[in-house]
Structure 1
Amino acid sequence: MKSWHRYTIAILGGLAVGLGAAWALTNGGLGDGAIRNGPWTTSLGYGTKATDPLTRAMVARSGLLALPARETIYWMAKTDASGAPLDGNCRYSLSGTPLDARWWSVTVYNDTGYLVDNPAGVWSVNGANVALDAKGAWRVVISPDKPADAAWLPGIKGEPFQLTLRMYNPGAAFRADPKKAALPKIVKAGC
């Protein structure tokens, strides 16, 4: 074999390994941020120049047009309160009190970071469309079947999913200590 063949094979092999590793490292969205709060994770570096290259690549891969943390904080959850992966076959209660932000939303994505394909055409809930109960709390059911008595986000049977909580213009108290903020609880009610 000629030496230029060996060099060509080595360069192509190196490119394949490098590109494959980069693809694997940036796959699956942003579920491992530096800040943890229950099942939720975030990074206050999304959308800033100061973010490390790997996080910037994950943001680009996930399609998130990230704004800086003073404008929006993006929380991701791939597990419930017990640490079990979110499963589209199961029923979950997503609940909380109004968040310290001008506006917020929770969106359901599949495990690769894309919107869940569902016949109802419902992908998210937000602070403007969830009703508060007498105690000032809200509750949403995430399940494959629509409940008769609650706000609903569809899960798709047989598909794992993840949640993204977006908090637009978070309050100063929240930004001061996001690890201790009251975020929505994700509790499995059954499968």
Structure 2
Amino acid sequence: MFRTPLLIATALAVTFGLGILSSVYALRATVGFGAIALGPWAAFPAAQTVDADPYAKAHRARDGRLLLGGAEGLTFTAATDSDNRRLVTNCRYEIAGITPPARLWTLHAADRNGNPLPGANPDVPTGLNAWSALRGADGNFSIRIASSAMPGNWLAIPEGRAPFLLVMTLLDTPTAGSSGVIDLAMPGITRLDCADA
């Protein structure tokens, strides 16, 4: 008597459970379609526009973050260095080169979920921008990323062995438009050394 309703309830529970798990997995697997890849850096210019695909819209709704409009800016993230090795906090890195044209850019380290990494000390720089970074006469810059202090431009990351992301946001940039992306270049990310090497 209760066998048929029990089988139906079990089938519905399994179906809804697998549907929810596959949706969560799909949202964590990708930000959306239409990525721009410039070396280790990747951006999704359509993610914050009306023309965003359903995955990008779902990311926006799930995260509850205010995204830049298409004409306001573009956020690039890097999970690996220029040699395609994962970024980890027990290594030291150097970002060198120039950015695409922008009125302002910002750079910070984030965890794998995109949340800014906390600094071990409130007096150390956990973020840099175009106005605070020292540049050479040709406009190139070099930023060292390490858990211990370094001369010149230094971005502090916490100690440990955790993977992290680098997040560079270009504000008021023509890069956010649909044209001219092919000829752009982002700075390279070089691994200098690691604490366990």
Does TM, scored on the shorter chain, surpass 0.5?
A: yes
Mapped to 2, the partners of 1:31 and 1:114 lie a distance apart of 19
Give ranges in structure 1 of 5+ residues lacking alignment. Answer: none
Runs of 4+ in 1 over 3 A off after TM superposition: 28-33, 59-64, 172-175
Mapped to 2, the partners of 1:85 and 1:33 lie a distance apart of 23
AA partner of residue 79 (structure 2): K
- Whether the aligned pair in 1 keeps the contact of 2:106 and 2:129 (CA below 8 Å) is yes
Query: What residue number does 1:46 align with?
Result: 47
The answer to whether residue 129 in structure 2 is matched with residue 138 in structure 1 is no
Displacement of 1:162 in angstroms is 0.5
Aligned-partner SS, 1:180: coil
AA partner of residue 181 (structure 2): P
Displacement of 1:179 in angstroms is 3.4
RMSD: 2.4
Greater Rg by CA: 2
Give ranges in structure 2 of 5+ residues lacking alignment. Answer: none
Displacement of 1:33 in angstroms is 5.5
Mapped to 1, the partners of 2:185 and 2:148 lie a distance apart of 28
Query: What residue number does 1:155 align with?
Result: 157
Alpha carbons of structure 1 residues 172 and 114: separation in structure 2 relative to 1, 3 Å:
closer
Count, aligned residues: 190
Q: Which moved more, 1:37-46 or 1:18-27?
A: 18-27
Query: What residue number does 1:2 align with?
Result: 3
Residues 11-63 of structure 1: per-residue CA shift (max 9 Å, x gap): 22122111112222222774985211101111221211211111222334445
TM-score, scaled relative to structure 1: 0.87
Aligned-partner SS, 2:104: strand
- Whether the aligned pair in 1 keeps the contact of 2:106 and 2:169 (CA below 8 Å) is yes
Aligned-partner SS, 1:178: coil
Alpha carbons of structure 1 residues 76 and 166: separation in structure 2 relative to 1, 3 Å:
same
AA partner of residue 144 (structure 1): S
Displacement of 1:167 in angstroms is 0.9
Alpha carbons of structure 1 residues 172 and 20: separation in structure 2 relative to 1, 3 Å:
closer
AA partner of residue 101 (structure 1): A
- Whether the aligned pair in 2 keeps the contact of 1:104 and 1:127 (CA below 8 Å) is yes
Q: Which moved more, 1:1-10 or 1:60-69?
A: 60-69
Percentage of matched positions with identical amino acids: 24
TM-score, scaled relative to structure 2: 0.85
